[in-house]
């Protein structure tokens, strides 16, 4: 009897476990299906190939090309800048500081803390910076804010890839007479290229999807920006603004824009998966 009861408890919880796992899959499916269901019928070539025409926000002609291109500029710029800052940092931690364990752990701790800070805080800080330096809402201000926001994410992701390089590789490279910098950029960089590029793509995905940090820094405009000092439209904000419109046609467009954003995110995450299996040419297998 007692044994049966025990099994009963386990059985009960196993059913619950099965359910909770299913809930997660169902949630993802519901998100994707509900957005495709609402957005796909509205999505048209005109929508993704034109900038808003007059009366766009009253349901007339035009598209969201400004937001698509703006988002790509913004996320691309921020990812580039973050890579310039993040790659040396990640290599520095794993090549130069590898003997100072406590220091490295401390740095990782700070990076983890930074990663946890909400993007709206970065947005507010970016805004404070802007008003301090007298920059107006612009592509540049947006890029800087988003860079601050994704650097910790990128460095931590690169760090995870670099961390698993065997110590022997470092020692071999140094014993052959190469400097630490050479070891970092020639050996570790090539060895971890797949992991590093995955980290870059992951950060790009974060950058293109975030709305809170660019709400006050990048602004919004109907045109495609032609210089860094102009404001720029972005997809998340386009969705957000269109959805808060009372006009049904404009709301419909928000769903279509959401489809575009989801599509970009999915492409990026699939690319990241492919990347992590590619570029193994220079990799030494242990």
Partner 1 sequence: MRLTLALVMLLPVLLFAGMYYKSSLLLQANSLLELLFSGVWKPMSGKFGFYPFIISSLWVTVVALLLAAPVCLLTTIHLTQYARRWVLRVMHPVIDILAGIPSVIYGVFGILVVVPAIANYIGPAFGKDISGYSILAGAMVLAIMIIPFILNILIEIFKNIPDELAEASLALGATKWQTIKLVLMKKALPGIIAAFGLGMSRAFGETIAVLMVVGNVTRVPTGIFQPGYPLPALIANNYGEMLSIPLYDSALMLAALILFVVVLLFNFASRLIIIQSEKRVA
Selected binder of partner 1 within 72, 135, 228, 243 (CB under 8 A): 243
Contact 31, 265 (CB under 8 A): no
Applying CB under 8 A, among 10, 55, 168, 284 the residue interacting with partner 1 is 10
3-state secondary structure at position 112: helix
Classified as helix, coil or strand, 1 is coil
CB of residue 96 to partner 1, shortest distance in Å: 7
Q: Which of 48, 129, 174, 228 binds partner 1 (CB under 8 A)?
A: 129
- The interface region with partner 1, picked from 46-54, 149-157, 161-169, 186-194 by CB under 8 A, is 149-157
Q: Which is nearer to partner 1, 28 or 284 (CB)?
A: 28
Q: CB nearer to partner 1: give 143 or 254.
A: 254
Cβ–Cβ under 8 Å, residues 53 and 61: yes
Residues 76 and 232: beta-carbon distance below 8 Å: no
Residue 18 found at the interface with partner 1 (CB under 8 A): yes
Interface map 247-286 toward partner 1 (x if CB under 8 A): -------xx--x--xx--xx-xx---x-------------
Site membership for partner 1, residue 189 (CB under 8 A): no
Residue 257's closest CA among 208, 213, 202, 215? 208
Nearest distance, CB of residue 158 and partner 1, angstroms: 12
Q: Does 14 bind partner 1 (CB under 8 A)?
A: yes
Long-range contacts of 175-180 (CB under 8 A, 24+ apart): 180/95, 180/96
> 244: part of which helix (H) or strand (E)?
none
Return the residues of window 200-239 that contact partner 1 according to CB under 8 A. Answer: 202, 205, 208-212, 215-216, 236-237, 239
| Binds partner 1 (CB under 8 A): choice among 42, 48, 98, 120 | 120
The region of 26-34, 55-63, 157-165, 278-286 touching partner 1 under the rule CB under 8 A is 26-34
Per-residue b/e over 129-155, b at no fewer than 16 CB within 10 Å? ebeeeeeebbbbbbbbbbbbbbbbbbb
Binding-residue total with partner 1 (CB under 8 A): 81
116 binds partner 1 (CB under 8 A): yes
Q: What is the dihedral of CA 51, 217, 149, 206, to 10 degrees?
A: -20
Tell me if 128 contacts partner 1 by CB under 8 A.
yes
Scanning residues 150 to 179, which ones bind partner 1 (CB under 8 A)?
151-152, 155
Build a one-symbol-per-residue string for 76-115: x at contacts with partner 1 by CB under 8 A, - elsewhere: ---------xx-xx-xxx--x--------x-x-xxxxxx-
In this chain, which of 55, 118, 166, 168 binds partner 1, going by CB under 8 A?
Answer: 118
Note whether 63 binds partner 1 by CB under 8 A. no
Residues 6+ apart with CB under 8 A from 151: 82, 85, 86, 89, 114
Give the SS3 label for residue 12. Answer: helix
Q: Please count the helices (runs of H) and the strands (runs of E) in the chain.
A: 12, 0
Helix (H, G, I), strand (E, B), or coil: what is residue 111? helix
């Amino acid at each position: 009897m007692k044994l049966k009861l025990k099994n009963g408890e386990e059985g009960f919880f196993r059913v619950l476990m099965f359910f909770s796992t299913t809930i997660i899959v169902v949630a993802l499916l519901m998100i994707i299906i509900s957005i495709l269901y609402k957005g796909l019928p509205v999505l048209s070539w005109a929508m993704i190939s034109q900038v808003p025409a007059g009366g766009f926000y009253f349901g007339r002609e035009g598209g969201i090309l400004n937001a698509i291109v703006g988002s790509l500029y913004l996320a691309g710029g921020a990812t580039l800048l973050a890579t310039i800052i993040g790659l040396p940092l990640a290599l520095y931690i794993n090549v130069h500081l590898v003997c100072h364990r406590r220091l490295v752990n401390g740095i990782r701790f700070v990076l983890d803390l930074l990663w946890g800070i909400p993007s709206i805080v970065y947005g507010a800080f970016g805004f404070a910076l802007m008003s301090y330096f007298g920059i107006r809402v612009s592509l540049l201000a947006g890029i800087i804010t988003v860079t601050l926001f994704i650097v910790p994410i990128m460095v931590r992701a690169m760090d995870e890839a670099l961390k698993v390089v065997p110590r022997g590789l470092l020692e071999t490279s140094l014993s052959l007479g190469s400097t630490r910098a050479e070891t970092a950029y020639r050996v570790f960089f090539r060895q971890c290229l797949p992991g590093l590029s995955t980290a870059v793509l992951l950060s790009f995905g974060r950058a293109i999807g975030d709305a809170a940090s660019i709400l006050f820094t990048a602004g919004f405009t109907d045109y495609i920006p032609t210089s860094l000092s102009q404001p720029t439209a972005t997809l998340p904000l386009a969705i957000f603004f269109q959805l808060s419109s009372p006009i049904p046609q404009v709301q419909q467009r928000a769903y279509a824009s959401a489809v575009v954003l989801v599509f970009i995110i999915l492409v990026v995450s699939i690319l990241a998966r492919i990347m992590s299996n590619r570029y193994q040419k220079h990799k030494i297998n242990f």
